[in-house]
Amino acid sequence: MRNFLKLIIGLGSLTGFPALCFAGDALTLKSQYKRPLEIKFPKTAPYSPQLVTLGKMLFFDPRLSGKNNLNCASCHNPSFGYEVPVKTPIGATLTPLKRQAPTLLNMAWVAPLFWDGRAETLEEQAAGPITHPDEMGGEFETIIKRLSKSPEYKKFFHYLFPQTGITRENILKAIATYERTIIAGWAPFDKWIEGDETAISNAAKRGFIIFNGAGKCATCHSGWNFTDNKFHDIGLEIIEKDLGRAEHESNNVFAENAFKTPTLRNLSHRSPFMHNGHLKSLEDVVDHYISGVIDRPSTSPSITNVTLSIEQKSDLIAFLKSLTAERQDVSMPILPN
């Protein structure tokens, strides 16, 4: 912490904060980014390893799609931060979807869900892509019939839900319980927060100060999961008309073109960025906030172009990359016959 305080005192003038004032704030700043050590499961869906196992099988099972050719991982690929490495995913109609697939990392701490916040729970969220005709194109009546033909699935559901068996509600509960266990691994940044001064570079440490200061990133990307769970129009160029949050909050001028603040965890695996996959790299994202923010009536009051030097931009990107954990192997489940 002593080295961190020296760094802050030396960089106060670069961040836009008075050096001594920011040094005092540093005593609590790092604590705001400490990771929780347990997942909070809802009382209606308490954790059990058996339920997570069932949910994982369903997550990877194409029988939940209309044509038996897509699963949840088709758009939420573990290798790419539970997103896809293209501008937007390809759905059941073999055409690109309007929005990028939001990451599933750390969703146990996120609500509401989707880019426009139309789902309050992970159970509700899971139903959306499964049944949407442009996404997986499934129908639960058909899905239940398919799963019921599997003796193994019948055994699993009877064990976990002895009174009800294979139902829409139980399918969604299993998937949501699995999704709550999809957690970003410990990144170098987390090790630094826990006291390992060697875990990240000096450039990344300077970037942390810029992130919380001159870059104004922490205004929206706050806390250990780097999201305020709110909706903002960040002044992106409108390529294709998309009302965003305004579809569900029509009387709020700031809801138009506003989308959910995403977590910044594992960014190095998650390009392209933004709700429409419009920006290809972290450099493009930072450049947007330096000179690309379009001022319009719906633009969030907290979003304005920022002034950063080339060196500050480099340091900020170094910090953002420190939020990526080492790749975690995700084993594929053996699906029931």
Q: What is the pLDDT of residue 248?
A: 95
In this prediction the pTM is 0.91
SS (H, E, C) 237-292: CCCCCCCEHHHCCCCCHHHCCEEECCCCCCHHHCCCECCCCCECCHHHHHHHHHHH
Contact 61, 335 (CB under 8 A): yes
> What SS3 class is residue 305?
coil
Count CB-CB contacts under 10 A for residue 162.
Answer: 8
C-alpha separations of 253 from 94, 115, 298 in Å: 34, 17, 6
Ranges of residues in the chain whose predicted pLDDT is under 50? 1-2, 4-24
Task: Note if 135 is an active site residue.
Answer: yes
> What SS3 class is residue 232?
strand
End-to-end CA distance of the chain: 55
Burial grade of 291 (CB within 10 A; 0-12, 13-18, 19 or more): exposed
Q: Could you give the CA distance from residue 135 to residue 221 in angstroms, rounded to a whole number?
A: 28
What CATH topology corresponds to 187-321? Cytochrome Bc1 Complex; Chain D, domain 2 (1.10.760)
The angle, 0 to 180 degrees and rounded to 10, between the axes of the packed helices 49-59 and 168-179 is: 100
For the chain, strand residue ranges (E) read 231-232, 259-260
Place of tokens 């959910």: 260
Of 217, 221, 196, whose CA–CA distance to 312 is shortest? 217
Q: Could you give the CA distance from residue 33 to residue 27 in angstroms, rounded to a whole number?
A: 12
Contact 20, 139 (CB under 8 A): no
Q: What is the pLDDT of residue 3?
A: 52
Angle formed at CA 227 by CA 106 and CA 310, multiple of 5 degrees: 115
Q: What is the pLDDT of residue 327?
A: 81
Quote the distance between the C-alpha of residue 266 and its chain's center.
Answer: 9
Q: Residue type at 79?
A: S
C-alpha separations of 12 from 21, 47, 145, 210 in Å: 9, 45, 63, 10
CA gyration radius, the chain: 21
Report domain 49-179's class: mainly alpha
Residues of the chain with CATH 1.10.760.10: 49-179, 187-321
Within 30-150, residue ranges assigned H as helices are: 49-59, 122-131, 140-148
Active-site residue, selected from the candidate residues 83, 135, 179, 256: 135
